[in-house]
Structure 1
Amino acid sequence: MRWTATIMLVIMAGVFIGTKQVLDLHPAWGYVHAFSEAAMVGGLADWFAVTALFRHPLGIPIPHTAIIPENKDRIADTMADFLRTNFLTPAVVARRMQAMNIAKAAGEFLVQPTKGSQSRIGAGASELIAGILESLDPDRLGGQVKAGLKSQARKIEIAPLLGQMLQTAMADKRHLPLIDALVRWSGLTLEDNEDLVRDMISERANGIIRWTGLDGRLSKSVLDGLYKLLAEVLVDPEHPLRDKIQEGLEQLADDLVNNPDMQAKVERMKNEVLENEAVARWWEDVWERMRAGMIRMARDPETTLGGQIGDSLAELGKALRDDARLQTQVNRFARRTAVGVATRYGDQIVRLVSETVRRWDARTLTDRVENAVGRDLQFIRINGTVVGGLVGMTIHFADQWI
């Protein structure tokens, strides 16, 4: 547009020079000559006016030119004051928000599908979760999570907690399956180690018993007696050995809750487990598998994570779109929030505008304003050329006939 306006000015100069030689040939050339002469004046005047906004014309420091660069700070303050006065007042914000149904618009946005059954914001949320999990350093994150869990575990006194859990289980008779499992485990352990039991009995028998071969019969009798005892304990709910186990569990639960020595022992065991490198490596491996699984779930809309995000957001969107009372409440909350933000932070917002413009150098401000409105300003030059020419031709007409 700058080139167009400039070429028009050059053409008018050429017409002015050319018509000066033919003025005596016909009266019409006088009108053309007057048009071109006034058009040059109008075009040059508007070129000067437009240029003076942004820089000194031809680099000459004429007073009251380069208006925008010279008054950059004042313009920044004026813009901020205009914004604060006309846009960020509570009354203006409330009036504007009153005409907006933010809840319905949000609901329609949430239920708009993109792929499958997911809303587009649900798909975006799933992708965001997956992206965050992928961007995090697995080793560093795993170490941080492990350190956090270890720190929290150190703060928990695990002995009283275990004791209370055991007391509660015994009060509800939920420990009985544990006793049955313990008895069965003892029988299986004994069966797997029969040779070891026989060797122990044989080593402790005297020479006469081993010489007569009675150690084998003795071992068999001991094993049979143990199997019989375990079977009786398993089938008889009133067996005395069960009572002994019950007493032992009750004592253990009481010690875990009330005995400082037992609590200290359990805490030492807990800390040893937490410091074990094998446990640390196991946790890191578990965390990495969890992270990879969560990434796959987030990216797949048919999985639990991806589906739940999409379904939850879609249900929220339908409620916001269709429930008038919910819309009223949400819109009222949004309006009050916006008014509160304008009231509390309006000055800070406009100060941000003012300080940002102040920080720009004069060349940056000039270029940005000129790029924003420069096309329209070049139309001023074009219009000035045309209007100036018409005015000049009108004056010539009046001069000829008055």
Structure 2
Amino acid sequence: MKLIATGLLVVMAAVFVAARAIEHAHPAASWVKAFAEAAMVGGLADWFAVTALFRHPLGLPIPHTAIIPRNKDRIGEALATFLKENFLIAPVVARRMRNIDLAGAAGRFLQAPAGQETRIRRGASRLIADLAESLDDERLGGLVKGAVSSRLKAMEVAPLLGHALASAINEDRHVPMLEAAIRWMARALEANEGLIRDMVHSKANWILKLAGIDSRIADAVVDGLRKLTVEMGTDPAHPVRLKVEQALADLANDLQHKPETRERVEAMKDELLANKSVGLWLDTLWQKGRAALIKAARNPDAAMAGKLGEILQSMGASLEHDPQMRRAINQFARRAVAGMAASYGSSIVKLVSETVRGWDARTVTARLEDAVGRDLQYIRINGTLVGGLVGLILHALDRL
């Protein structure tokens, strides 16, 4: 654009010289001469004006030239103030954000075609894997274990256990566990029958042993226990079974409402958390979870099998078609951005002004000239052409 503008000025100069040379033979050439003369004046004037913005014309220190390099600090402060007053204040940001449906756009993006959805899933998986691998494993593991332990210590588990047990009893979900316990008792009896007989034999005196009564007593004990386990397993209304269920109900009530029981449970919980074995178990659990997460994220197609894509599409559908959720998310985003503008607007403004102040004059000139220089060269071209037209008008007035 500089070449075009300068070339047009040179052409006007050549036309002026040619028209002046033939003016005495061709009086009509005076019109061309007037046009070219005024065009040169307009072009040179606008060249001076455009050049004076960025540097001294012809290197001469003419007053009020090189305006931008001499005033770069003031320009930076003015630009920063303009940004703050027109963009980075909370009311302006909130008003602009009010017309942006961020949740709807996110919903449409998440409900992507199959190929795009795959790219989204791969990108999300890669981000998760990179994040999990980049974090300090030992420190992060310590944070996770510390957070879990702190949360468990702060949580009173006795009422939760009592409520869970009471709900299970009310919905008969404890029955399979009770029956499993009865079956385990039966298997334990079969496996330890010899031990029971030895215990009876060792407790019997010599008279019972001499008469062989100890063996009959052992048989009676074993048969009685076997019969008890069979009857408890087949009869839901067995007295022993009812007593066990009543004991469970009492335990559920004590866990929720009895201070002594709750204190004992909390003491047991604290002892358990202080045990080194529990810490090792939490560490092993964290390592396995982290490794599984990284492995799944590194191979989303095989390990995640499209599950993440389905979740993303479901989230997108909810965002796009649920007005209440969309309104809530948009409101949250609007408040968050407005809050960021209120909290960090001054910092951003300071960053802009200090950045411009830190540039040298040549950098400022080059960047601004790259941004608007093309349009400024149009000013030179227009000045040349408009100057020529003004010259024609003045020449016409002079003739009249």
TM-score by length of 2: 0.67
Deviations 1:325-368 (A, max 9, x none): x8xx969x97xx69x959x9689858955862464134444333
Structure 2 CA distance for partners of 1:290 and 1:215, relative to 1, 3 Å? farther
Residue 383 (structure 2) pairs with residue 384 (structure 1): yes
1:241: how far off?
Answer: 3.9
Secondary structure of the equivalent of 1:63? coil
Which residue does 1:135 correspond to in 2?
A: 130
Which residue does 1:6 correspond to in 2?
A: 6
Which residue does 2:272 correspond to in 1?
A: 269
Q: Which amino acid aligns with 2:232?
A: V
1:52: how far off?
Answer: 0.4
Q: Which amino acid aligns with 1:311?
A: S
Within 5 Å, which residues of 2 pair with 1:250-399?
257=258, 258-259=260-261, 260=263, 263-272=266-275, 275-286=278-289, 288-289=291-292, 296=300, 303=307, 305-318=308-321, 352-353=348-349, 356-357=352-353, 359-360=355-356, 361=359, 362-389=361-388
Residue 57 (structure 2) pairs with residue 57 (structure 1): yes
Structure 2 CA distance for partners of 1:356 and 1:203, relative to 1, 3 Å? same
- The answer to whether the Cα contact below 8 Å between 2:93 and 2:341 also exists between their aligned partners in 1 is no
Structure 2 CA distance for partners of 1:350 and 1:46, relative to 1, 3 Å? farther
1:67: how far off?
Answer: 1.8
1:375: how far off?
Answer: 1.3
For residues 388 and 207 of structure 2, the distance between their equivalents in structure 1, rounded to whole angstroms, comes to 142
For residues 179 and 346 of structure 1, the distance between their equivalents in structure 2, rounded to whole angstroms, comes to 61
For residues 44 and 142 of structure 2, the distance between their equivalents in structure 1, rounded to whole angstroms, comes to 72
Which residue does 1:69 correspond to in 2?
A: 69
Given the alignment, which residue of 112, 115, 123 partners 1:114?
A: 112
- The answer to whether the Cα contact below 8 Å between 1:274 and 1:280 also exists between their aligned partners in 2 is no
Within 5 Å, which residues of 2 pair with 1:10-159?
10-13=10-13, 38-76=38-76, 102=100, 107=104, 110-111=107-108, 114-116=112-114, 129-137=124-132, 139=137, 141-159=140-158
Q: Which amino acid aligns with 1:57?
A: P
- Flag structure 2 segments of 5+ consecutive residues without an equivalent: none
Which residue does 1:231 correspond to in 2?
A: 230
1:372: how far off?
Answer: 2.6
- The answer to whether the Cα contact below 8 Å between 1:150 and 1:274 also exists between their aligned partners in 2 is no
Q: Which amino acid aligns with 2:272?
A: M
For residues 32 and 170 of structure 2, the distance between their equivalents in structure 1, rounded to whole angstroms, comes to 114
For residues 90 and 255 of structure 1, the distance between their equivalents in structure 2, rounded to whole angstroms, comes to 54
Structure 2 CA distance for partners of 1:284 and 1:154, relative to 1, 3 Å? farther
For residues 57 and 36 of structure 1, the distance between their equivalents in structure 2, rounded to whole angstroms, comes to 23
Q: Which amino acid aligns with 2:6?
A: T
1:186: how far off?
Answer: 0.9
1:276: how far off?
Answer: 4.0
For residues 245 and 182 of structure 1, the distance between their equivalents in structure 2, rounded to whole angstroms, comes to 11
Secondary structure of the equivalent of 2:180? helix
Deviations 1:200-257 (A, max 9, x none): 6777789999999999887666544432232233334555544664576567667764
- The answer to whether the Cα contact below 8 Å between 2:73 and 2:353 also exists between their aligned partners in 1 is yes
For residues 265 and 81 of structure 1, the distance between their equivalents in structure 2, rounded to whole angstroms, comes to 63
Structure 2 CA distance for partners of 1:31 and 1:244, relative to 1, 3 Å? closer
For residues 22 and 366 of structure 1, the distance between their equivalents in structure 2, rounded to whole angstroms, comes to 44
Q: Which amino acid aligns with 1:154?
A: K
Structure 2 CA distance for partners of 1:297 and 1:252, relative to 1, 3 Å? farther
Secondary structure of the equivalent of 1:136? helix
Secondary structure of the equivalent of 2:275? helix
Q: Which amino acid aligns with 2:352?
A: T
- The answer to whether the Cα contact below 8 Å between 1:39 and 1:385 also exists between their aligned partners in 2 is yes
For residues 343 and 72 of structure 2, the distance between their equivalents in structure 1, rounded to whole angstroms, comes to 20
For residues 195 and 23 of structure 1, the distance between their equivalents in structure 2, rounded to whole angstroms, comes to 139
Structure 2 CA distance for partners of 1:192 and 1:59, relative to 1, 3 Å? farther
Structure 2 CA distance for partners of 1:224 and 1:36, relative to 1, 3 Å? same
Q: Which amino acid aligns with 1:9?
A: L
1:134: how far off?
Answer: 1.9
TM-score by length of 1: 0.67
- The answer to whether the Cα contact below 8 Å between 2:162 and 2:252 also exists between their aligned partners in 1 is yes
- RMSD over aligned Cα, in angstroms? 5.5
1:51: how far off?
Answer: 0.2
The number of residue pairs the alignment matches comes to 383
Which stretch shifts more, 29-38 or 230-239?
Answer: 29-38
For residues 297 and 151 of structure 1, the distance between their equivalents in structure 2, rounded to whole angstroms, comes to 37
For residues 152 and 348 of structure 1, the distance between their equivalents in structure 2, rounded to whole angstroms, comes to 33
Over the matched positions of the two proteins, sequence identity in percent amounts to 41
Q: Which amino acid aligns with 1:314?
A: A
Structure 2 CA distance for partners of 1:380 and 1:287, relative to 1, 3 Å? closer
For residues 233 and 319 of structure 1, the distance between their equivalents in structure 2, rounded to whole angstroms, comes to 54
For residues 151 and 346 of structure 1, the distance between their equivalents in structure 2, rounded to whole angstroms, comes to 35
For residues 187 and 232 of structure 2, the distance between their equivalents in structure 1, rounded to whole angstroms, comes to 14
